[in-house]
C-alpha cells in the first residue's frame, strides 16, 4: 500500500486481532446496551485493551456476560463510573468484591458515556484509541446522543486525543474528519471459525452539514458527490477492494458491517 502523507490510515479490524495484545492498542468504554456478540469476540477486544471502563449500567452488561459464560472465563473492569442510577445491586456487589473502583459522578450536564471518556482521558491515558461498546440498539434519542458525542470528542484534525470506534452488534462506525482517509476494509482475525472482521456493506453519512465526497475501492465509487440529510446519501455500498479511500470536504460517519464467527451471529 502506498499512502499519501496527508491521508489518515485506518485499521478498524485490528481491535479483533489477538496478536495486538502485546501492544494493548485501545481502551474500552461499555455502555448500557446488551453485549450480544460471541464471547470470543469480546475476549479479543479485552486482550487488546489497556483499560475497560463501564459507564454506569454498562457494568451490569459485563456482569451478566461473565455470569452466563459457560467457560467461566471473565472479562475484567478497570473502573465503573456514572450517576449509578442504573447499576444493579448484584452487579455493584460483584465488582466491589473484585476491588473495582465504583465512582459516583453526579454531574447532570454530562451523560454516563461522557463521564467515562472524560475519566479515561483525564486519569488514565490521553491520546489512546477508544472502542465504545453499544449505543445504537436502544432509544433513538440515546443513539443520536452517542453519535453526537462520537463527533464532539473528535473535533480536532489529526485525532490528537485518539480515534474512537463505536462497535454495535452489527457494525463498526467512526468519524472521518475533513480530508483524505484510507481504510483497510478487508480483514479478519482468528482461526477455526472463531475469527471476527469486517463485512462488505458500507455507509458514509454526513454529520452536521452537507459534504462533497469521493471514494475508491467500493462497488459504486463516487467523485465530488454532494451528500446531506434531505438529499443524496451513500448507504448500502459494497467493499470491492482491500483498501477503501474516502476524501471528504466535511466530517462524515463511516460505517461498515461485521463478519462474525461461523455459526455465531449476533443476537
Helices (H) and strands (E) in the chain, counts: 5, 16
In a domain, 213, yes or no: yes
Distance CA 36, CA 206 (A): 28
In a domain, 98, yes or no: yes
What's the pLDDT score for residue 194? 52
Nearest 5°: the CA angle 31, 156, 29 is: 15
What's the pLDDT score for residue 20? 58
- pTM of the predicted structure, to 2 decimals: 0.90
In a domain, 103, yes or no: yes
Q: What is the DSSP letter of 218?
A: B
Distance CA 257, CA 255 (A): 7
Q: Provide mean pLDDT across the span 69-89.
A: 93
Percent of the chain exceeding pLDDT 90 equals 58
Q: What is 7-53 written as a DSSP string?
A: EEEE-GGGGG-GGGGGT--EEEEE-SS---S-HHHHHHHHHTEEEEE
Distance CA 33, CA 58 (A): 7
| CATH number where 147 lies | 3.40.50.10240
How many folded domains does the chain comprise? 1
Could you list the residue range(s) of the whole structural domain that residue 228 is in? 7-259
Nearest 5°: the CA angle 19, 25, 27 is: 125
At residue 86 the predicted structure's pLDDT band, cuts being 50, 70 and 90, is: very high
Q: Provide mean pLDDT across the span 163-191.
A: 90
- In this predicted structure, which of 13-22, 181-190, 220-229 has the lowest mean pLDDT? 13-22
What is the bridge-based pairing of β-strands 211-216 and 196-206?
unpaired
pLDDT at 31 > cutoff 90: yes
In a domain, 229, yes or no: yes
In a domain, 266, yes or no: no
What is the bridge-based pairing of β-strands 179-184 and 7-10?
parallel
Between 168 and 95, name the one with better pLDDT.
95
Distance CA 198, CA 57 (A): 28
Tens digit of pLDDT for each residue in 111-151? 899 999 999 888 877 789 999 998 676 678 877 888 888 88
Amino acid at each position: 500500500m502506498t499512502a499519501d502523507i496527508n491521508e489518515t490510515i485506518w485499521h478498524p479490524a485490528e481491535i479483533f486481532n489477538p496478536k495486538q495484545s502485546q501492544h494493548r492498542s485501545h481502551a474500552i468504554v461499555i455502555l448500557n446496551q446488551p453485549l450480544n456478540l460471541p464471547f470470543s469476540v469480546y475476549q479479543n477486544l479485552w486482550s487488546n485493551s489497556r483499560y475497560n471502563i463501564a459507564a454506569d449500567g454498562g457494568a451490569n452488561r459485563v456482569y451478566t456476560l461473565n455470569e452466563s459464560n459457560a467457560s467461566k472465563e471473565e472479562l475484567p473492569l478497570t473502573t465503573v463510573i456514572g450517576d449509578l442510577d442504573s447499576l444493579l445491586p448484584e452487579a455493584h456487589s460483584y465488582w466491589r468484591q473484585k476491588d473495582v473502583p465504583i465512582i459516583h459522578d453526579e454531574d447532570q450536564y454530562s451523560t454516563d458515556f461522557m463521564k467515562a471518556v472524560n475519566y479515561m482521558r483525564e486519569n488514565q491515558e490521553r491520546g489512546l484509541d477508544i472502542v465504545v461498546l453499544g449505543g445504537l440498539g436502544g432509544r433513538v434519542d440515546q443513539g443520536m446522543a452517542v453519535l453526537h458525542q462520537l463527533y464532539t470528542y473528535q473535533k480536532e484534525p489529526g485525532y490528537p486525543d485518539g480515534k474512537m470506534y463505536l462497535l454495535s452488534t452489527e457494525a463498526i462506525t467512526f468519524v472521518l474528519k475533513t480530508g483524505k482517509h484510507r481504510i483497510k476494509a478487508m480483514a479478519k482475525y482468528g482461526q477455526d471459525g472463531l475469527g471476527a472482521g469486517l463485512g462488505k456493506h458500507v455507509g458514509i453519512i454526513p454529520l452536521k452539514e452537507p459534504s462533497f465526497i469521493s471514494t475508491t475501492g467500493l462497488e459504486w465509487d463516487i467523485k465530488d458527490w454532494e451528500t446531506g440529510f434531505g438529499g443524496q446519501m451513500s448507504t448500502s455500498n459494497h467493499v470491492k477492494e482491500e483498501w477503501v479511500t474516502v476524501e471528504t470536504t466535511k466530517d462524515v460517519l463511516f460505517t461498515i458491517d461485521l463478519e462474525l464467527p461461523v455459526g455465531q451471529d449476533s443476537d
